[in-house]
Amino acid sequence: MKRTLIKETAELAGKQVKLSGWVNVRRDHGKLIFIDLRDRTGVIQMVIIPDKVEAYAAAKEARSEFVISVEGLIKERPASQVKADDPNSKVEIEVEKMEILSRVEGELSFDPSKKDLDVNLPTLLDNRNLALRNKKVNGIFLVYSQILKSYAEAMRESGFLEIKTPKIVSAATEGGANFFKIKYFKRDAFLAQSPQFYKQAGVGAFERVFEIGSVFRAEQHFTSRHVNEYIGLDAEMGFIENFSDIMDQLQQAMRRIMKDVEANCADILKEYEIEEIAAPEQFPRIKLTEALDILKKEYKKETEGIDIDPEGERMISEWAKKTYNSDFIFLTHYPVSVRPFYTMPSADPQYTESFDLIFKGVEIATGGQRIHNYEQLVASIKRHKLNPEDFTSYLDIFKIGMPAHGGWGLGSERIVQKILNIDSIKEAILFPRDVKRLTP
């Protein structure tokens, strides 16, 4: 008999089916045994009566998280037991056969069938496999998979080509710090901190490219928004008129993601009590200097120099929400001093044609226009006290004709973290890596 998925049973009352999955909850009522069976598509109540001797014996033995397979009859449940928001509560299965396929060794560290796990972060991550069986925790990764899909679709529909670029690189460029060092046969090499140079090369070949790939940062951070390995959603586009084109494109991708998540992950948003994501047609765009003025006036927050800290990002996001009903805000025109050498300067050369995108208080993307003229780029490298000879391969890109271009780097995990209002980004990564954590 072929396996039926639990979500399909709602329409199968009166039919004989085979179901497989995990024991979610088991209730022994003396005579009757009730087991909630869970598969990737839902949960169904199973009823096992003593008359079915072998099935009953298996049900007696079964414990939480055992893997089982059953055969039986799908029956409609009394109207009083049907929950409006759960199509699977319409039916139950009267079990005739049950087989235990896999058992649990020892005790479970916690019960994953509870609505909220209520365990601390180290316990959650140390027992990752068990935690992922909890519906709320599991749902994070259903939303995450949707983000990956929607991002790729949005980019492809705008004529971007998907590329993959190397993560082992010969030189720790872009400043030098924060790179992991690797032993590459007889040489030293480094793990790529971003696909920046390669995606710019992609513009010279394909005009518009995007990449979904691993990013490695050797930063000694201990915050709720940093990890040392994450998945970057990068893009780079050529033949732009100005850097607004880049923000337009990123805005379009973000709106697409939010729309798809709202449409396809409604049940998970509900679990997390997220009512709506405010992604208006036009995200507010304000200069960083204006943002600092607003912080000063409205939040009495003084800033040293021209830059914004995490507290400032939270405040300006709050301001954008109340002023424009937007969970997103672009801050633009960062000063030259806080941007990498390849950033295009503005008409006022103290500033740059660059932006950060803040979503619900956290910076999720950094981008801008890049310098595309060879001589200007060499001069900028020197002005940043770097040596053009260390950038030979990169500079080659600009010797053979490069259009005006720019792009962004976007952190995929921060998107899901903020959509679901999750405390730590580590909860939004299957197997996170931080300064102290390399397992599981």
Tell which positions 349-388 bind a second copy, by CB under 8 A. Answer: 372-374
Minimum distance from residue 65 beta carbon to a second copy (Å) = 4
Minimum distance from residue 20 beta carbon to a second copy (Å) = 5
Nearer to a second copy, 3 or 15 (CB): 3
228 binds a second copy (CB under 8 A): yes
Stretch that binds a second copy, among 208-216, 249-257, 258-266, 335-343 (CB under 8 A): 208-216
The residues in 146-165 that bind a second copy, with binding defined as CB under 8 A, are: 148-149, 152, 156, 159, 161-165
String marking each residue 95-124 x if it binds a second copy according to CB under 8 A:
------xxxxxx-x----------------
Nearer to a second copy, 121 or 168 (CB): 168
String marking each residue 177-196 x if it binds a second copy according to CB under 8 A:
---xxxxxx-x-x-x-----
From candidates 57, 67, 119, 386, binder to a second copy by CB under 8 A: 67
What is the C-alpha separation between 50 and 60, in angstroms, rounded? 10
Q: Is 250 left (phi over 0), alpha (psi -120 to 50) or beta?
A: alpha
From candidates 77, 97, 167, 285, binder to a second copy by CB under 8 A: 167
From candidates 49, 231, 274, 379, binder to a second copy by CB under 8 A: 231
220 binds a second copy (CB under 8 A): yes
Instruction: Provide the greatest CA pair distance for the chain.
Output: 86
The gap from C-alpha 77 to its chain's centroid, in whole angstroms, comes to: 38
Minimum distance from residue 42 beta carbon to a second copy (Å) = 12
Stretch that binds a second copy, among 27-35, 135-143, 325-333, 342-350 (CB under 8 A): 135-143
Cα atoms in the 13 Å half-sphere on the side-chain side of 324: 19
From candidates 16, 81, 170, 325, binder to a second copy by CB under 8 A: 170
Minimum distance from residue 168 beta carbon to a second copy (Å) = 5
Q: To the nearest 10°, the Cα dihedral for 20, 23, 27, 33?
A: 30
Q: Please state, in angstroms and as integers, the Cα–Cα distance from residue 194 to each residue in 48, 75, 366, 408, following that order.
A: 56, 55, 12, 11
Site for a second copy (CB under 8 A): how many residues?
91
From candidates 53, 79, 84, 400, binder to a second copy by CB under 8 A: 400
Enter the tokens of residue 55: 């099935």
Question: Minimal CA–CA distance to 144: which of 22, 229, 233, 270?
Answer: 233
Please answer whether residues 17 and 93 qualify as being in contact, where contact means their C-beta atoms are separated by less than 8 angstroms: yes
The residues in 10-49 that bind a second copy, with binding defined as CB under 8 A, are: 20, 22-23, 39-40
Minimum distance from residue 159 beta carbon to a second copy (Å) = 7
Stretch that binds a second copy, among 70-78, 200-208, 318-326, 333-341 (CB under 8 A): 200-208
Enter the tokens of residue 346: 């503005």
Enter the tokens of residue 256: 């697409």
Long-range contacts at 18-22 (CB < 8 A, ≥ 24 apart)? 18/69, 18/70, 18/71, 19/44, 19/46, 19/69, 19/70, 19/71, 19/72, 19/93, 20/67, 20/68, 20/69, 20/70, 20/101, 21/67, 21/68, 22/65, 22/66, 22/67, 22/68, 22/133
Minimum distance from residue 227 beta carbon to a second copy (Å) = 10
218 binds a second copy (CB under 8 A): yes
- Interacting residues of 391 by C-beta distance below 8 A, sequence separation 6+: 173, 381
Stretch that binds a second copy, among 125-133, 285-293, 308-316, 357-365 (CB under 8 A): 125-133
Q: What angle do CA 238, 240, 242 make, to 5 degrees?
A: 140
The residues in 296-335 that bind a second copy, with binding defined as CB under 8 A, are: none
Q: Look up tokens 């925790």; give the residue.
A: 137
Query: Residue 20, SS3?
Result: strand
Nearer to a second copy, 135 or 333 (CB): 135
